[in-house]
Structures are given as structure tokens and as C-alpha cells.
Structure 1
Amino acid sequence: MRDDPTVVLRRADGRDAAAVADVWLRSFAAALPTVVRPRSDDEVRAYIRDVLVPSRETWVAEAADGGGIVGMMVLDGDLLSQLYLAPDRRGQGIGNRFVTLAKERRPKGLTLWTFQVNTPAHRFYQRHGFVAAEYTDGSGNEEREPDVRYVWRP
């Protein structure tokens, strides 16, 4: 895994919302093909445009070569609520940089949820010091998909 210096992490603004939604949709489809989304693409786009970008701490990874937005991360209090990368940009260190940034922004600790079927995410977060703290049957999420809560404490 290499760290891609041609990618810049920065706060998202309203102009980024469509590209953030595109990354989210492509990443979700590639990483979680068996998980049924309860929201349409248009509903996801509206949520990202109207809620995530304007009212949450939303970060993007932007390709410095003009390649556009290739990743997104959202912090909501101590919750790392979203971290998605363009499928063709995985394994390039962008996720590592996002997690490092999240830990810098929330030095007292972080929590996150991921689906139990997403074993690559489990390995990724465990490498970054997150520990599984709770497993659920999915009754508490919109997808009704069993999930796991991870916690990182310094």
C-alpha cells in the first residue's frame, strides 16, 4: 500500500456535493453488493447535498491532477459516520490519511459502524487500532443489515 501524494484532503463545500455523492454511490455498490439500500440514488444525492455537506464535518480527497473527488469522509461528533473511496483508488493510502485526519480532529476517540459483511473494512479499521465493541442484528439501521460498532481510544 502506498501513500498517494497527488491527493489533497480538504473540507467539502456545496460545489462538491454531486461528486461526493457519486463516490459514495460507486463505493457502496462495489464494496457492499449484497446490502440493499433503502434510499434511491436521488435520495442519497439529496441527503449528501442538503445534510452531510452543509451541516456535518465533511472532507474530500481530491486528485491534484484534476481527476476530481476520489474519496469522502464525514465526522459527526465522535462518530466517523462515512468513509468511502472511489473503487479504483483503494489501496493507495487515501483511507489511511482519512483515518489519521479523523484521529487528529477527534483526539479523545472515535466510534464507527460498519456492516458485518464488510470484512475488508473490519481489517482496515483494526489495523488502525479500532476494536469491535458491539455486534447487532441490523434492526437499528435502515438497511436492516447486521453491523458492528468499532471504537478507537488513544
Structure 2
Amino acid sequence: MTGHIVAYKEEYHDQLVELWHRAVCSTHDFLTEEDLRFYYKMVKNGALRAVELWVCLNKDFKPVGFMGLDGSKIEMLFVDPQHHGRGAGSQLIRHAESLKGDKLTVDVNEQNAGAHAFYKKYGFVQTGRSELDGAGKPYPLIHMELGRHNGLRSR
């Protein structure tokens, strides 16, 4: 898939919130319903506007994925489950590299094995671990950085 990466526009907000919800429901089976509602409210009420947000659009100009950056840290990267494995996530990371260089970092939920494998395949390596997520909830995070191992990346 070759998508078109564009900067966030307010007109995408509701579509991205729903895309986030679909992605999280398909990949974060460790979250409780209460936690899902908590994070949904967070995303809907401001989390998307708190980062530098980039959107991957398909050929019909519909969002299929998005990435939020804070400096060189990937704060969020979500791809619609119907588009998993088609290159949108890698394309978003390549876009981040073109903007921020190759010293990107990301925190990944330890229980999200698919995301952990995705970042490892791209060339991210573990640099640490935290017991709690950014909201203080008991979902351990794996801290990762791009290019620490020989600068090798498979794309």
C-alpha cells in the first residue's frame, strides 16, 4: 500500500477517534472495558491535538492510519485493522524519520505482542521497561529506540 501522508486537520478528528477505537479493540485485548472507556475519552477529548499528528490516507483520501509525535518520540501509531500488514505503519515511521531523523523512540505496551514485533522488525530495540503506562495504569511499557543496533533496519 502506498498511502499519502498529510498533516492532521480537524476534519479528520472523529474518523481518527473511531480508527483508534477499532485498532485498540483488535490489538489491546488486555484492556478492561473500563480502561477502554477511559482511554477513548482521553483520545476523543484532546490526546490527538496534544501531539504533532500525521495521517495516512488511502487512494480515496480516507484515513487508514495515524501517528502522533512529540519531538522524536512516537507517542501513538495506529492503523485500521483492515489495513494491518499493508505498509501504512512503516510508511508513517519512514515519514517520522524524514522529519526527525533516525533516533526515534517509542513506548509499546508489553502485552501488545504484535506492536512489539512490528517495531522490532523495523529496527527498534528495547532500551528499558516501566511497570506502569503513561496514565499510571498497570500496563507495563517497553521503551524502544530506532537504530541502536548497528543501524540496521528491515523495511
Please state which band the TM-score falls in when normalised by the shorter chain: 0.7 to 0.9
- 2:51 corresponds in structure 1 to 56
Cα deviation, residue 42, structure 1: 3.8
- Relative to structure 1, the CA distance from residue 114 to residue 64 in structure 2 (aligned partners, 3 Å threshold; closer, same or farther) is same
1:65 aligns with 2:64: no
Q: Give the match's secondary structure for 1:18.
A: helix
TM-score w.r.t. the length of structure 2 is 0.84
Segments of structure 1 that go 5 or more residues without pairing to the other structure are none
Could you list the runs of 4 or more consecutive aligned residues of structure 1 that deviate by over 4 angstroms after TM superposition? none
1:8 aligns with 2:4: yes
For residues 95 and 107 of structure 1, the distance between their equivalents in structure 2, rounded to whole angstroms, comes to: 17
Segments of structure 2 that go 5 or more residues without pairing to the other structure are none
TM-score w.r.t. the length of structure 1 is 0.84
Q: Give the match's secondary structure for 1:112.
A: strand
Alignment of 1:116-131 (within 5 A): 116-131=110-125
Cα deviation, residue 140, structure 1: 5.1
- Relative to structure 1, the CA distance from residue 105 to residue 139 in structure 2 (aligned partners, 3 Å threshold; closer, same or farther) is closer
For residues 90 and 32 of structure 1, the distance between their equivalents in structure 2, rounded to whole angstroms, comes to: 14
Task: Confirm or deny: 8 A CA contact 2:68 2:75 kept in the other structure.
Answer: yes
Q: Give the match's secondary structure for 2:45.
A: helix
Higher RCO (Cα < 8 Å, 6 or more apart): 1
- Relative to structure 1, the CA distance from residue 18 to residue 140 in structure 2 (aligned partners, 3 Å threshold; closer, same or farther) is closer
- 2:131 corresponds in structure 1 to 137
- Relative to structure 1, the CA distance from residue 96 to residue 133 in structure 2 (aligned partners, 3 Å threshold; closer, same or farther) is same
Cα deviation, residue 108, structure 1: 4.9
Percent of aligned positions that are identical: 22
Residue-pair matches, total: 145
Pick from 22, 29, 33: which aligns with 1:26? 22
Cα deviation, residue 141, structure 1: 3.7
Deviations 1:12-56 (A, max 9, x none): 1111111111111110111001123261634421124xxx23x42
Q: Give the match's secondary structure for 1:151.
A: strand
Q: How big is the alpha-carbon RMSD for the aligned residues of Structure 1 and Structure 2?
A: 1.9
For residues 70 and 111 of structure 2, the distance between their equivalents in structure 1, rounded to whole angstroms, comes to: 24
Cα deviation, residue 152, structure 1: 1.4
For residues 100 and 69 of structure 2, the distance between their equivalents in structure 1, rounded to whole angstroms, comes to: 9
